[in-house]
Amino acid sequence: MPRGRSGPDARCPSLPPMRVRFAPSPTGLLHVGGARAALYNWLLARGSGGEFLLRIEDTDRERSTPENIEQILDALRWLGLDWDGEPILQTTHEERHRAVVQQLLAEDRAYRSTATADDVRAYKAEHGADKGFRGGDHPTRSHDPEVGAVRLRVPEGQTVVRDLIRGDTTFQNVHQDDPVVARADGSPLYNLAVAIDDLDAGITHVIRGEDHLSNTPKQLLVLQAMGAESPVYAHLPLLHGPDGKKLSKRHGAASVQELRDAGYLPDAVVNYLALLGWGDADDETVISREELVRRFDIARVSKNPARFDEQKLKWLNGKYLRGQGVDGLTATIRGHLDATGHGEAIAGRDELLRTAVEISQEKISTVDDFWALAGFLFTGPVDDEKARAKWLDEGHREHLAAVRGTLAGLDPFTTESVDAALRALVGERGVKAKDVFQPLRVALAGTAVSPGVFESAAALGRDETLARVDAALAA
RNA sequence: GCCCCCAUGGUGUAGCGGUUAGCACGCCAGCCUUUCACGCUGGUAGCGAGGGUUCGAUUCCCUCUGGGGGUACCA
């Protein structure tokens, strides 16, 4: 069956079902690069009516704690990337891996060797730096079945990685060392385990980060030694930080968990990640999950590494925030406030919260922005020295006193009525609008940046508004 | 050192031999306006360099330069 780079119309009208997998090693946080790999796999599975499997590469027992595994699952759930079946733990396949090692040994496709890193270096010093280590008839070759690591015999020739994103990459086998596929104690190593697991799971497409590109020929060699078919590959370019260096914690949010805590919405993160390294002829930027599933094409993924730049994600997040509608956004924000220790401040104030969200939504781009902007409605004015100095000086206090007089007898006390009354006051006094509005804003919020003043006053109600004005006047 | 990948504005991308090089974020300006935003309008800015191939290269080939990945009895 011919495969390889799919042509421009290869995915029309519909793809054959793809069975794909995401195989993270459970280090705790789900790195955004990993999240993107998971997303692309998920999009392909859902778009082709196939399956998305989750396999935990837990052979490193140190890091593979139940807590770490749970964290990864949690992050995937939050993103809405549901997997098919139960998560598979790689360690549960160890028996099969060992059996394959024994078979390779029995067929002389692998051998035992006690060669150390120094032995390999010495070999290269003698044969050339670009010559892979061959231990088959090297002094370190071990004939005792209990002694030495297991190395795979790399045959002559070349190994071609067929990649949906970058076409064929040819690796000359001479450059490859005979890879160690199992430790001296017989325990399987990564490249062996992965190849076997993907084979056994019937994975049709392996989509993973480019950091695995040079592992792929080794895995292909294992499959070849087993006489098995190989899957199709796609290696995604890596994600870099704004400075072009590998993305890490010091660049700010580098994991899904951090993005969640920073107040981003899963849909926005998914949309952003999908567009980071992929784009099609359509110029749309805000693309729904369903649309993404329909349109995503692995062959159109970019070959160059992309920088993770939070600015666009912020913008996109604002779009999704406002797209939720006031009730949806209120629920989202309530959840975030509960999780960040502000649950008490909003308890029992549902009406005010909804109003606060309504008048704040166009001014925030993350869920986390809400409290900084509108928290004053619940907890009283914040303390911004500069704002007070500028807007509550002698001259402005006089205007504020007039404002108090106007608002004191206002009924009803609504955004509209406050608006009309204050504008009338501005007209009477013959001053600039902001000289009247800003002092009130600072009296209510304690700072010069807030939702609209009329809206804020109405949200607080007349009594609270007057109390805050009095406090400002008295200070 | 050795093996491998990549290269369109500051960022993410469209382009698949002939385009005024398109879109989005950012940035700047204007409008709106009670601050900040949202929204709208306009603007700034790009094919890494050098060789080829071709009537014609951002597009194809080579070299260089610059990024990146790998190089474990880790995953």
Burial class (CB in 10 A: 0-12, 13-18, 19+), A363: middle
- List all residues 6 or more positions away from A164 whose beta carbon is below 8 Å from its beta carbon: A4, A5, A6, A205, A207, A232, A233, A234, A298, A299
Given the structure tokens 């002829």, which residue do they identify? A281
Q: Using the CA of A244, which nucleotide's C1' is the nearest one?
A: B67
Q: Using the CA of A246, which nucleotide's C1' is the nearest one?
A: B68
Spatial distance from the CA of A307 to the C1' of B54 (Å)? 36
**Mean pLDDT of the region A51-67:** 88
Question: How much is the pLDDT for A213?
Answer: 96
DSSP state of A87: P
pLDDT digits (tens, 9 = 90+) for A80-117: 999 999 999 999 999 999 999 999 999 999 999 999 99
Spatial distance from the CA of A390 to the C1' of B71 (Å)? 63
Strand B–CB A416 distance below 7 A: no
Strand B–CB A119 distance below 7 A: no
Which carries the bigger pLDDT value, residue A27 or residue A114? A114
Per the prediction, chain A carries an average pLDDT of 93
> Which chain B nucleotides are covered by protein, judged by CB under 7 A?
1-8, 10-16, 22-26, 33-39, 67-75
CA A108 → CA A103, A143, A184, A434, distances in Å? 8, 12, 17, 86
Spatial distance from the CA of A277 to the C1' of B58 (Å)? 19
Strand B–CB A276 distance below 7 A: yes
Q: Left, alpha or beta for A378 (phi > 0: left; psi -120 to 50: alpha)?
A: alpha
pLDDT digits (tens, 9 = 90+) for A133-142: 999 999 999 9
Contact A450, A456 (CB under 8 A): yes
Catalytic sites of A, residue numbers: 249
Strand-pair partners of A235 = A208
Q: Using the CA of A183, which nucleotide's C1' is the nearest one?
A: B73
Strand-pair partners of A169 = A161
Given the structure tokens 């062959």, which residue do they identify? A299
Strand B–CB A287 distance below 7 A: no
CA–CA gap between residue A454 and residue A475 (Å, rounded) = 23
CB < 7 A to strand B: residues 369-408, chain A: none
Spatial distance from the CA of A181 to the C1' of B1 (Å)? 25
Q: Left, alpha or beta for A341 (phi > 0: left; psi -120 to 50: alpha)?
A: left
- List all residues 6 or more positions away from A255 whose beta carbon is below 8 Å from its beta carbon: A29, A30, A31, A32, A75, A249
Give the number of other CB atoms < 10 A from CB of residue A42. 26
Query: Which of A37-41, A119-123, A245-249, A351-355 is predicted least confidently?
Result: A245-249
Angle at A221 between CA A36 and CA A153, to 5 degrees: 140
Strand B–CB A26 distance below 7 A: no
Q: Could you tell me the pLDDT band of residue A14, with boundaries at 50, 70 and 90?
A: low
Give the number of other CB atoms < 10 A from CB of residue A219. 26
Query: Which of A248-262, A271-285, A439-453 is predicted least confidently?
Result: A248-262
Given the structure tokens 């993160």, which residue do they identify? A269
Question: How much is the pLDDT for A254?
Answer: 87
CA–CA gap between residue A303 and residue A278 (Å, rounded) = 9
Q: Which residue, among A207, A306, A304, has the nearest Cα to A247 in the 3D structure? A: A306
Which carries the bigger pLDDT value, residue A11 or residue A385? A385
Q: Could you tell me the pLDDT band of residue A252, with boundaries at 50, 70 and 90?
A: confident
Backbone angles phi, psi at A265, to 5 degrees: -95, 140
Q: Using the CA of A283, which nucleotide's C1' is the nearest one?
A: B23
Q: Is the pLDDT of residue A6 over 50?
A: no
Nucleotide B14, nearest residue via CA and C1': A281
pTM, entire model: 0.93
Q: Using the CA of A281, which nucleotide's C1' is the nearest one?
A: B14
CB < 7 A to strand B: residues 323-362, chain A: 362
Strand B–CB A448 distance below 7 A: yes
Q: Could you tell me the pLDDT band of residue A226, with boundaries at 50, 70 and 90?
A: very high
Residues in chain A: 475
Q: Is the pLDDT of residue A3 over 80?
A: no
How far does CA A422 lie from the centroid of its chain? 47
Strand B–CB A123 distance below 7 A: no
Q: Using the CA of A63, which nucleotide's C1' is the nearest one?
A: B75
* Strand segments (E) across A148-307: 149-152, 158-163, 167-172, 180-182, 205-209, 232-236, 239-240, 306-307
Q: Is the pLDDT of residue A398 over 70?
A: yes
Contact A207, A298 (CB under 8 A): yes
**Mean pLDDT of the region A437-454:** 97
Backbone angles phi, psi at A132, to 5 degrees: -75, 150
**Mean pLDDT of the region A391-411:** 95
**Mean pLDDT of the region A47-67:** 90
Q: Could you tell me the pLDDT band of residue A197, with boundaries at 50, 70 and 90?
A: very high
Nucleotide B67, nearest residue via CA and C1': A244
Question: How much is the pLDDT for A5?
Answer: 31
Q: What are the respective helix, strand and coil percentages of chain A, to the nearest 5?
A: 50, 10, 35
Question: Position A78: which residue type?
Answer: W
Question: How much is the pLDDT for A178?
Answer: 98
Strand B–CB A227 distance below 7 A: no
Q: Is the pLDDT of residue A402 over 90?
A: yes
Strand B–CB A437 distance below 7 A: yes
Query: Which of A100-114, A247-261, A354-368, A438-452 is predicted least confidently?
Result: A247-261
Q: At what angle do helices A216-226 and A190-200 cross, to 10 degrees?
A: 60
**Mean pLDDT of the region A375-388:** 96
Question: How much is the pLDDT for A27?
Answer: 83
Q: Could you tell me the pLDDT band of residue A7, with boundaries at 50, 70 and 90?
A: very low
**Mean pLDDT of the region A357-367:** 97
Q: Is the pLDDT of residue A2 over 90?
A: no
Query: Which of A5-9, A330-334, A386-390, A424-428 is predicted least confidently?
Result: A5-9
Strand B–CB A14 distance below 7 A: no
The three-class DSSP label of residue A50 is coil
Spatial distance from the CA of A135 to the C1' of B72 (Å)? 17
CB < 7 A to strand B: residues 28-67, chain A: 57-60
